[in-house]
Amino acid sequence: MVRINVDVVIDTGCPFCYIALNHLTRAVERYESKHVNNSVAIRWHPMILQPNAPKVPMDLSTYVASIFGPKVRDGKLKREEALGRAEGIKFNRNRKVGSTYDAHRLIHLAGEKSSAMQSSVVRKLFQGHFEDGQAQSSLPFLVDIAVSSGVEKSEAVAWLESNAGGPEVEVKIRKATAKGIFSVPHITVAEKYSLGSRYDEEYLLNTFERLRVE
């Protein structure tokens, strides 16, 4: 039996990370269905691309324009929509944006429990934000994600209302940047193959197959 660990550095406000999740999920499903005695475990790690993002949610359009200007904003959002169409993702232009710090703390909590729970939280964060328009700094949204993924509500509320997991998230970010990781997604397979942002499904699958026979 071969167990492959995949480490993925993400920011939950990054649309490319959502696309990478879909490619990675499909590659894992194909690999595990072909090799039923083998498995792939995904570990999600934090990166915060916009550390000054507002705690109070803002409209996406207003926020992106405040950083890049209206012309650049329009181009970025059009490119995002085009990428989404190719992946079956309908990016919500009316979504709210804010700090992703608490979302990363929730991902850390889920990871302490199981790989499956952590991946569930990550997917629901992406879908809830990018498609349903929820702000990732919203406490009710984060609590709902936690509970629907298997965390007890009382534990989720206590965790999110405190700074639990915050120091660990910050340490992980420092470790990533010390390795030269500043953009996301960044994928490393079996602590051996650093794929960076190369998240193509076929490339991932081929990497898994290579490890199986090594």
Whether residue 158 contacts residue 152, with contact meaning beta carbons closer than 8 Å, is answered with no
Residue 86 zone, left/alpha/beta (φ > 0; ψ -120 to 50; rest):
alpha
The tens digit of pLDDT for each residue in 38-47 reads 999 999 999 9
Whether residue 43 contacts residue 118, with contact meaning beta carbons closer than 8 Å, is answered with yes
The tens digit of pLDDT for each residue in 202-214 reads 999 999 999 988 8
Q: Which residue has the tokens 């039923």?
A: 36
> Which tokens in the block code for residue 182?
């500043």
Secondary structure (3-state) at 10: strand
Q: What is the DSSP string of 166-199?
A: HHHHHHHHHHHHHTT--SS-EEEETTTEEEET--
The whole-model pTM stands at: 0.95
> Which tokens in the block code for residue 210?
């290579």
The tens digit of pLDDT for each residue in 55-106 reads 889 999 999 999 899 889 999 999 999 999 999 999 999 999 999 999 999 9
